[in-house]
Structure formats: structure tokens, C-alpha cells
Chain A
Amino acid sequence: MHKSLVSITDYSKQEILSILESARDFEANPNRKTLDGKVIATLFFEPSTRTRLSFETAVVRLGGSIIGFSDAATSSSVKGETLNDTIHMVSCYADAIVMRHPLEGAARYAAEVSPVPIVNAGDGANQHPSQTLLDLYSILKTQGTLENLTICMVGDLKYGRTVHSLIQAMSHFNPTFKFIAPDELRLPEEYRVFCRQKGIPFTESRELNDNFNDADILYMTRVQKERFLDQIEYERVKNVYTLCNDMLAASKSNLKILHPLPRVNEISMDVDKNEKAYYFQQAQNGLYVRQAIVSKVLGLIE
């Protein structure tokens, strides 16, 4: 039974681990012909060059072909076609559909009406499971395990969907969380409740400083200007939440810094040369994880 990937919660712990294992396999040998003769549609109703190129490269390196659009302006949705009709039309041509849509829940709906598997490449602020899986892969690769790690998450914990999905996914692996955010961007109550229900220890603080010295992973996110009503407050927060190289002096030797990218000013460029910076390799890991995801939804791997 091939199934769509809409939300990280669609996958059990075992399925997550098997995807990561396949990703390791694809990393060892990313160029194969396992998708030979397969057509994958990438429907980007909202532009996202980074995610689209990653998925398309994943498919092309496996010998598959790509059809689709990179902007809703060039699709028939501007003529008023419903998502239902677009999905039905495209599924006549493609074996699987990778979809990015600005409306939340679009991917779940598409998966319900589609005869072919759907991979959610982001539905508004809701879910972006391939990002979560590549975050997990990066953690596994750099730490050798996903179990019993201390994960420090910094920045926009309120709206950041990558943060919420990572909390859900890591909950399988006995983590400890440290949440660092300004009051305006504090982690929503439902995720604090989630952690308490799962018995996951966490702390919250407002200042970055060196609050991450016992962390194994420092997960940075972008603090977006448009989230603030008070622009003076934004200027203050922006500077407090910038990670600089000298702040890493007392951090653990196995610490790695992740960021879903694009970064603006939350990680100073002087961090890039530090061996603890891992955000560019993290992006590259996305390629192998997406090869595993596309292969899985097509039923080519377990």
C-alpha cells in the first residue's frame, strides 16, 4: 500500500527510522536508475526554489522525469480551477505529486482526492515533513543516534512549523528540549502540553547568551520582522538572537548548529567556518532524504 506523506505524524517511529536508513543508502550512492520511466509532478502553487530544486534533483538523479510548475501564476489555478480538479488532471500524467501550497490543509485534502501518492512540500504554516526528516537525518548523522539528546531551539518558536514538527518527531527518541524565544514568539501552549503529556523535560528562556552549553543540537530559526507589532522590539530581539562564533566557546564538542535556511542575521557569518556549523550540509542531506521519501511513496522501498 503506497501512502502519501502529508504530516510527520503520518509516520511511526519505525517508518521514520527506515526512511533515515534509506537516506544513508542514497547518500552512499545517489545516482541510480530506480525511477527510470517514472514521472513525478512538482506542483508549486507558491514559489519555493530551494525545496523544489531539492526534490527535482532527487528525482532526476534517480532517473525519473519531472513535470509541473513553479508558480501558481503559470498554472490553471489562476483561472479558478479547484485543487481537486488540478490534482485529478495531473494524476493522469504523473506517478506521484510533490506539492507546495499556501493554504493550510491543502496537502491532506489533495491526498484524500488523489489517485496517486502526494508528498507535502509545505502547506502554509502547517507541515513540511521532508524538512523534518532531513533535520532528523542531520541529527542522526552528526550525533550517531537520535536517542537521549538535548536539543536547543531558538528564535521563532511560535510560528516556526519546522520547530513544531521536529518536537513531534523527536518525541519518539527521549529528548530534552531547551526553548529560547522572545515572549512574542514563545512556543504555543499546545506544544508545551504535548511535551508534558509525553513526559519530555523542557526549559524555556528568553535570552540566547550561553544557554545552550549543554546542548547537542542548536536549532536556529529565522526571527521574521513581520511577526512583530512593535518594530523597536524587533530591533532589540534581532540583535539578542544573533549567534556569534565567540558564543560557542564553552559549547559541547559534539554540538552541531542546524538552521532550515534561509538565514538572515540570526547566525553571524563568522560562525560558518566553525566546524560546529552544519546548516549547509543539512541542506545537502535533504537531497538524500527526498530520494528516500519519493521512493517510499512509490512503494519502491519498504
Chain B
Amino acid sequence: MEKELKVAALRNGTVIDHIPAVKLFQVVSILQLKNSHYPITIGNNLESKHIGTKGIIKIADRILSDDETGKIALIAPNATINIIKEYKVVEKRPLVPADEVHDLVYCANPVCITNHQPVPTNFYVLKEDGQVKLKCRYCEREFLREEIKLKKK
């Protein structure tokens, strides 16, 4: 069983699985795990039958907020989020994108005011025809999820 990840099973906390490998560190950034004091296990470039290579994050003793899952849904819509209590999955958290995102991503419009002045970005999240788009509250342009870049925190 060489393929198996050698990490302890989680007693209580959150497991985020099936994150595309290229998105792993974006999710780490969204959750601000750099500053977290909870025990964290992060794995990446693991083999996945469904998406090629995947990443996984296990956070002990912490339950993600809906706001946080809403943000992850924007970056990695096909990830899975399981809430664990006493080694058991007690909740499969649906990945519903947040309705608005505040200062999380850059506006992809180079002449938007938010890219030139110290203005925090704000986006409305539009869900239409199975597509998720972000509409900048300021320049009113719409962008596909793939076009947006995460802010470095």
C-alpha cells in the first residue's frame, strides 16, 4: 500500500479533499492556514482517479465556516469538504459559491479603479446556466472563474 498517505486519521475537524493539485496552495491561502495554530496536514500531487493529481488538507479541531466554503467553491468547485467528529464524517459540506466576495481576488480589468488605488475589491457572484461569473461592483465587468487571480495575503 505504498500509495497510501501516511497521516493520522482525523478525530475532529475538517477534511478538504479532491482539490486540483494546482489549486492546493490557493486554498491554503484562502483559509489563511499560514497563521493557523491548529494541527494541519497538507498533501499534494497525490494520485487521483478522477482529476489526475489532487491535494488534500486536514485541519484538526476546526470546522470551516460557510463563508470559507463559499470561497473554496470559487477556486475549487469540485473539491469535497467533510466535517469529522470522533473519526466519523458527520457532514458533507456542499460547495456553494458565496454570493459576494470581499477583497479576495483581483479584478481582471486592468483599468478598474481597484487595480490603481487602495480600494478593496468587491464582486457579486453570478450563477447562471451552470456557469459561475464574478461581476466587479466597481467597473461592472463580468469574469469567468478561470480569469480571476487570488490576492496575496
Contacts and interface: CB of A to CB of B under 8 A. Distances in A.
Interface stretch (A12-20, A26-34, A101-109, A277-285): A101-109
B78 interface: no
A242 interface: no
B142 A103 contact: no
B113 A105 contact: yes
Interface stretch (B17-25, B52-60, B115-123): B115-123
Nearest to A103: B113
How many chain A residues sit at the interface, stated as a range, is 10 to 19
B118 A124 contact: no
B112 A103 contact: yes
Contacts of A22: none
Question: Secondary structure of the B side of the interface?
Answer: loop
A104 B142 CA distance: 13
Given A7-B140, A126-B139, A126-B140, A109 B111 contact: no
A106 B142 CA distance: 17
A105 B142 contact: no
Interface string B104-138: 00010101111011110000000000000000111
B117 A104 contact: no
Nearest to B109: A104
A29 to B, nearest CB: 36
Nearest to B141: A104
A84 interface: yes
B118 A82 contact: yes
A103 B119 CA distance: 12
A127 B111 contact: no
A126 B112 CA distance: 9
B118 A104 contact: no
Contacts of B109: 104
Interface string A93-104: 000000001111
Given A124-B139, A190-B142, A106 B118 contact: no
A237 to B, nearest CB: 25
Contacts of A125: 111
Interface string A101-120: 11111101100000000000
Contact of B113 (A7, A83, A127, A190): A83
Contacts of A102: 111
Contacts of A105: 107, 112-114, 136-140
B111 A108 contact: no
A250 B74 CA distance: 53
Contacts of A101: 113
Contacts of A124: 111, 139
A82 B117 contact: yes
Contacts of B118: 82, 84
B66 to A, nearest CB: 26
B71 to A, nearest CB: 22
Give 9 nearest A-B pairs by CB, closest first.
Answer: A105-B138, A104-B139, A105-B139, A105-B113, A103-B113, A106-B113, A108-B138, A105-B112, A109-B113
Interface of B: 107, 109, 111-114, 116-119, 136-142
